[in-house]
Amino acid sequence: MFSKILIANRGEIAVRIIRACKEMGVSSVAVFSEADKDSLHVSLADESVCIGPAPAKDSYLNMSAIISAAVATGAQAIHPGYGLLSENAGFAELCEKCKIVFIGPSADLIRKMGDKDIARKTMQSVGVPVVPGCDMITDPESAGREADRIGFPLLVKARAGGGGRGIRMVNAAQELENAVAAASTEAQNAFGDGAVYMEKYLSPVKHIEMQVLCDKYGAVVCLGERECSVQRKRQKMIEESPSPAVGEKTRQKMMDAATKAAKAVGYTNAGTVEFLLDTDGNFYFMEMNTRLQVEHPITEMVTGIDLVKWQIRIASGVPLSFTQEEVKIDGCAIECRINAENPNANFRPSCGKISFLHVPGGPWVRFDTALYQDYYVPPFYDSLIGKLIVHAKTREEAIRKMQAALCELVIEGVEHNAELQMDILNDKEFKSGDYYTNLIEKRG
C-alpha cells in the first residue's frame, strides 16, 4: 500500500479522496491554487502545496507543477479525481515516466477510450451493441449516403469529443453539410482534432451507466447501474441507483455487456460504461469513462463498496476481495447535485461568501461537500458545491428522504439549485420512474 498519495483535484472530490486516505492510514498531499488557499481540502490533508495562480490551466492543469509537488513531497501515487487531468493520457504517461502511480487505468487505455471511433469499434468487435452510425466522415458525398442509410434525425459527433462539445443535431439532409462543418470546427478548436462521425439520434432514451471495478489480475466486477437521465444541456442533475426502468433481465444483459467491454480492453481500476436505453429495452454503448464519476456515491450506498478506497487498493496491486456473486444491490440511492447557480436567471453561476450553512443529517443521509461556514466560493471553477445523497429501502422512500433532506439544507451567501431539485423530485414523470433525458427540456 502507498504510504503517501497526492490528490490532483479540488473541492468536494478532493475532500472525499482525503477522507478515504485517512481511513486507510495513508498520508495525503493536497495541491491548491492561490484562490483555494483557504479550502477545506487544504486543511484536511496532511501536507499541502500551492501549484499556481487561480485559473485552472495555470494550477490544477499545470502538469509540471503537480509532478514537482509529488516529487518534493515524496508521494508515490496521484489520484486525479474527476474532470481536470483525470482523463488526460499525457498526464498518466508522465506519471509513469516519473515512477508515480496514476490511480486509474494506463495511459494507453485512456487514449484508446478517449477516441470515440476506436472505442465504438472495440465494443462492436466484442458484440456490445453500439448506436447505429458510420465511420469517420471523409467527404460530403459519402456523408450524404451514410446519413440516408442511418436515417434522420441524426447526430454529428467529434471523434475526440467530450463535455457535449463537437456535437450537432441534423433533422434533414439539407442541414447536414453545415452541421458537419460546425461540429468539425468546434472539435478542432476544442480538442485539436476535427474528425467527426454520425450516429442515429435516439429519442426518447434513458442514460444508464454501469460501474465496473477491475483489478490488475484480470478480475472484473460490475457494481450495477446508475440512471442519469435528469440532465440539463448534457449536464447531469439527479442520479439514482438502481434505475426504475431496468428490470432484472435487462440488468443482467447490461452488466454482461459492461463486463465484456472491460475485459475486452484489459481495463484496470474503476471505470464506467455508458449506455443509452430505449423504450423497447434495447441498449447501446455510448462511451467509457476511464475515471471516478461525480455520481459514484449512489453506487457506494447501494453496494456498500467504497469505490475510492478500492481505486487506491487496485492501483497499489491489491486483488479484489469479492466476486460478482457477492455484490448485492440493496435498496435505492438518489443523488442531487447542488450547484452554485441561479435557476431563475438562466442558471447564472454564483459565487461569494457562505454566511450560513446547515448540512442535513439523520440516518442514511450523506452530504459530500467542501463548504464550511465563512468559506468563499471562488468564481474560477466548476459550479458544483455539494452532492446530497440519500439511501432507503425503496425508491419512494428515498425520494421522500431526499425531499426532507433538501428542506434541511441551508446555504446562504450564494444562489443554488436546491429548490429546483425539490420540484424535479416532485415531478409526476420523475416520480413514476418513466422519464427520459428530455425531462428537463419538456418541463421548460
- Residues lying near another protein in the complex (CB under 8 A) are found at 1-3, 22-26, 38, 40, 42-44, 46, 63-64, 67-68, 70-71, 74-76, 90, 94, 97-100, 313, 316, 318, 372, 374
Instruction: Specify the residue, 78 or 388, whose C-beta has the smaller distance to another protein.
Output: 78
CA distance 308 to 289: 15
Rounded Cα distance between 206 and 429, Å, is: 13
- Residue-by-residue DSSP string for 223-284: EEEEEEEEEETTEEEEEEES-TT--HHHHHHHHHHHHHHHHHHT--EEEEEEEEEETTS-EE
Question: Which neighbouring-strand residues pair with 231?
Answer: 236
| Residue 205 beta carbon to another protein: minimum distance, rounded to whole angstroms | 38
- Whether the upstream peptide bond of residue 242 has omega within 30° of 0, thus cis, is yes
C-beta of 193: minimal distance to another protein in Å? 13
Does 291 qualify as catalytic in the annotation? yes
Nearer to another protein, 20 or 336 (CB): 20
Residue 45 or 237 with smaller CB distance to another protein: 45
For the bound state, the minimum distance from the C-beta of residue 74 to another protein, rounded and expressed in Å, comes to 6
| 34-66 exposure pattern, b = at least 16 Cβ within 10 A, e = fewer | ebbeebbbbebbebbbbbbeeebeebbbbeebb
Residue 131 identity: V
**CB closer to another protein, 16 vs 391:** 16
DSSP state of 378: -
Q: In terms of CB distance, is 377 or 420 closer to another protein?
A: 377
Buried/exposed 1-24: b ≥16 CB within 10 Å, e otherwise: ebebbbbbbbbbbbbbbbbbbeeb
Q: Which helix (H) or strand (E) holds 200?
A: strand 196-200
The C-alpha cell of 151 is what? Answer: 436515417
Pairing of strands 4-7, 77-79: parallel
Shortest Å, Cβ 22 to another protein? 5
Q: Identify the active-site residue in 10, 16, 120, 291.
A: 291
Beta bridge mates, 102: 78
Q: Which is nearer to another protein, 96 or 427 (CB)?
A: 96
Contact 235, 272 (CB under 8 A): no
Closest approach, Cβ 353 to another protein, in A, equals 12
What minimum distance in Å lies between the beta carbon of 67 and another protein? 6
Catalytically active residues, by annotation: 291
